[in-house]
Amino acid sequence: MKIKSFLYIGLALLATNSMFAQANILNAQIPEEIGMKTEAELLLDNDKPLEYGYVGDRDILFSKMTWEKVVLDERVNFPLYFPVEGNLGDDRKSLYQVLTENMQSGMIPKVYADSYFTEERTLKDLEASLSMRRITDAGIRYMNENNVGEDEIPEEYIIERNIEPADINSYLIKGLWYFDKRQGELKYRILGIAPAAPDVNFIDEEDNENSEPIPMFWIFYPEVRDILHEAKSFNNSNSAVPISFDHLLNSRRFSGIIYKEENVYGDREVKEYVAENALMQLLESERIKDKIRDFEQDMWSY
């Protein structure tokens, strides 16, 4: 009986690896065959994001909305940032590249201007924050001297700059911590995510290194879970088992700093009432975390 149980476990592990590993990589005769699945594999492929369970409003005993900044300079957050350049294939893309490509293809139909999801934005609305086109001073002189319009200026007098994956230095994540009284535990649910980068108009200036990153756009997270489940992040421990971005984010495999919580002061940010003191801002962020965690601990203290 023990041998049979070991065999079943081994087969289950092989089946799990086959779902996550790059398809057909060992059987491909030409590069185009890598990633192709047989009809039988496609029929058996039932890989979907884990569905959220229904949570009734009466089941929420306590909740607190928080906004976190996920800084991509931290090593634990590297899977959200890399790769930033080069074409490593469809299964090796940064989170920003996954989001922008699906926006351009129409798979992500809605993006928003803020984290409250009240004002929708189109790709045309985002052009000013994602790209920049500027005429140099020499180009303006050329226009005046030759009496020509902007369309007739030589290319050497024009500076163009786009926000690239390497320019994204953080992500802003909005989520809800809540205590489910039916299951008796504290849980977390992501509601929104936004890539943040310096202002594209000043991104290459020397004094812009310490500037505050600006959110490019906000996405309602439950709406893009299927897309983020199909996109895989790199697993440094085992490349045969990549982790989907949806799994990575929902399991909180990232390091974030709370920069805002919902409050009576119009959801003011920490830096608004703890000004010009980075250490005290960090301690305030930790205080907010402890306040949320202590609620669950206090539920079981007598």
pLDDT digits (tens, 9 = 90+) for 32-57: 666 676 666 655 566 788 889 899 99
Instruction: List, for residues 188-230, the tens digit of each pLDDT value.
Output: 999 999 999 999 988 888 766 667 889 999 999 999 999 999 9
The pLDDT assigned to 144 comes to 87
The answer to whether the beta carbons of residues 132 and 201 sit under 8 Å apart is yes
Mean pLDDT, rounded, for 100-106: 94
Q: Do the strands 232-233 and 60-71 form a parallel or antiparallel pair, or are they unpaired? A: unpaired
The pLDDT assigned to 16 comes to 41
Around 239, how many Cα atoms within 13 Å sit in the side-chain half-sphere? 5
Mean pLDDT, rounded, for 169-188: 94
Mean pLDDT, rounded, for 62-69: 96
Instruction: List, for residues 111-143, the tens digit of each pLDDT value.
Output: 999 999 999 999 899 998 999 988 888 888 888
Tell which residue, 36, 44, 80, 33, has the closest CA to residue 193: 80
Could you check whether the bond before residue 215 is cis, i.e. omega within 30 degrees of 0? Answer: no
Residue 143 CB-density burial (10 A; 0-12 exposed, 13-18 middle, 19+ buried): middle
Tell which residue, 259, 289, 287, has the closest CA to residue 271: 259
Q: In the chain, what percentage of residues exceed pLDDT 70?
A: 84
* Structure token pair of residue 74: 């931290």
- Binned at pLDDT 50, 70 and 90, residue 169 comes out as very high
DSSP labels, 220-281: EGGGGHHHHHHSEE--SS-TTS-EEHHHHHHTT-S--EEEEE--TTTS-BHHHHSTT-HHHH
Please state, in angstroms and as integers, the Cα–Cα distance from residue 215 to each residue in 58, 251, 288, following that order.
Answer: 34, 23, 23
Residues contacting residue 259 through CB under 8 Å, at least 6 positions apart: 67, 68, 69, 172, 269, 270, 271, 285
The answer to whether the beta carbons of residues 281 and 274 sit under 8 Å apart is yes
Mean pLDDT, rounded, for 262-282: 94
Tell which residue, 61, 9, 38, 76, has the closest CA to residue 243: 76
- Binned at pLDDT 50, 70 and 90, residue 77 comes out as very high
**Rounded CA separation 202/191 (Å):** 30
Q: In the chain, what percentage of residues exceed pLDDT 90?
A: 55
The pLDDT assigned to 7 comes to 42
Which pTM value belongs to this model? 0.82
Mean pLDDT, rounded, for 288-292: 95
pLDDT at 15 over 80: no
Please state, in angstroms and as integers, the Cα–Cα distance from residue 48 to each residue in 45, 88, 190, 230, 251, following that order.
Answer: 9, 24, 18, 8, 16
